[in-house]
Amino acid sequence: MATAEVTKTQTQSTMVQALRSALLEEMERDENVVLLGEDIGPRGGVFLITEGLIDRFGKDRVIDTPLAEAGIIGAAVGMACYGLRPVAEIQFIDFIFPGFDLLVSEAAKMRYRSAGQFACPMVVRSPYGGGVRGGGYHSQSPEAYFVATPGLKVVAPSNPYDAKGLLIASIRDNDPVVFMEPKKIYRAVKNEVPAGTYEIPIGKAAITREGKHVSVITYGAMVHVALEAAEIMQKERVEVEILDLRTLQPYDSEAILETVGKTGHVVVLQEAPRIGGFAGEIAAFIAEEAIGYLEGPIVRVAGWDTPFPYALEKAYMPNAQRVCRAIKKSINF
């Protein structure tokens, strides 16, 4: 576990650019890597992550599909069993559900049910999360479903550098990976992204900010909300450590124990609704394995337990203020 290393000679990239370059480089490297999804061809995907790739690699490797997520994921499973390494795009993760069965019943279980004879080295990448005025069906954070599905790996980067390295690692991984892209920061956050190939290992968290009083454990776009909260708390002399999980399944239990051991106070922050959410898993893990370190309650900060709203998304989404309140609850125990 280490803070994201950034080569200073590189240019500032958005996550969109970083993801696109990961796809492009992996497709150059391995001709078994193929892309499939809705509007990923001439349209370049609705967020332009696949822009221009069809011109470079042709229709056999950048496959515009009919409008059917069950087909996208199901076909990816069949391709992966055959030996390709498909990267499927689901236009918004809210629309993964028509293909959910193929993901949880097939991709996740193929290796197990065949006793290792068949595998599904495939990636399902998809934008997730709110903050873009997308309403109830263009804003959700359904990671809890994927994490609760043995056989799937789940990744959610928080910045362009990590996004590229994690996507490359996901494509090379021999298990199915759900790769969740925080669309709110597709273009809003930039950092330096090297041109060449590199992997960020799946299963390893990163300390985004060091601190000694309280740990905020989070991932994806919420890392930036945590950073904002940390700045605010800094003024009150509370030093916040931020752990960016990066991989949700399998999550980095060592890194979690380390930061909890250091601070003794924990806030787990997610954008998804609270009840049954992934933050609960992290809290439960800590309550089982690190209760001796704890000097206060484990506080979860999350979206409210409602569907995602449209007009009121500001009142819905976790913000720095909500995180600060939680930090105080955790340290003023």
Partner 1 sequence: MEIKPFTGQPISVLAYDGSPVTNLDSLGISKDEYLSIYRWLVLARAVDDRGYILVRQGRAGFYAQIAGQEASQIGSALPLTKDDWLYGDHRSQGSMLVKGLRAAEWFAHVLGRSLDPSQGRLMPHGPGRNDLHIVPPSSTVGNQITEAVGTAMAQRIKKRKEITIVYFGDGATSEGDFHVGMNFAAVYGSPCIFFCQNNQYAISVRLQEQTHTKTIAEKAKAYGMDGFLVDGNDVLAVYAVSKHCADKARSGNGPSLIEAYTYRYGPHSSADDDTRYRPKGELEMWRNERDPVVRFRRFLEKQKLWNDDKEQKLLAEVKAELAVALEEAEKSPVPEPMTVLDHTYEKLTPHLEWERKELAAELGV
Ligand X SMILES: Cc1ncc(C[n+]2csc(CCOP(=O)(O)OP(=O)(O)O)c2C)c(N)n1
Least distance in Å: CB of 8 to partner 1? Answer: 33
Hey, which residues between 92 and 111 contact its own copies (CB under 8 A)? 94, 97-98, 100-101, 104-105, 108-109
* Residue owning tokens 């290992």: 201
CB distance 236 to 214 below 8 Å: no
Which of 78/136 has CB closer to its own copies? 136
Cα distance between residue 179 and residue 22, in whole Å: 13
Sole window of 121-129, 139-147, 184-192, 206-214 interacting with its own copies (rule: CB under 8 A):
139-147
Q: By CB under 8 A, what part of segment 299-328 binds partner 1?
A: 304-307, 309-312, 314-316, 321-322, 325
Residue 133 in tokens:
């005025």
Between 67 and 195, CB nearer to ligand X:
67
Distances (CA, A) of 176 to 50, 100, 104, 108, 267: 20, 13, 10, 7, 30
In whole angstroms, give the CA distance from residue 193 to residue 214: 30
Catalytic residue among 138, 213, 224, 265: 138
**Can 224 be counted among the known catalytic residues?**
no
Q: Is 41 in the site for partner 1 (CB under 8 A)?
A: yes
Evaluate whether 25 touches 206 at the Cβ level (below 8 Å).
no
Among 7, 43, 291, 295, binds partner 1 (CB under 8 A): 43
Neighbouring residues of 94: CB distance < 8 A, sequence distance ≥ 6 = 136, 137, 138, 139, 140, 142
Sites for ligand X among residues 68-127 (CB under 6 A):
69, 91, 95, 98
Packing angle, helices 253-263 and 278-289, rounded to 10:
70
* Residues 15-54 interacting with ligand X (rule: CB under 6 A): 38
Task: Return the number of the residue (7 or 174) whose C-beta is nearest partner 1.
Answer: 174
* Contact partner, 195, from its own copies, partner 1, ligand X, none, Cβ < 5-8 Å per class: none
Q: Which of 82, 306, 312, 321 binds its own copies (CB under 8 A)?
A: 306
Active-site positions read 138
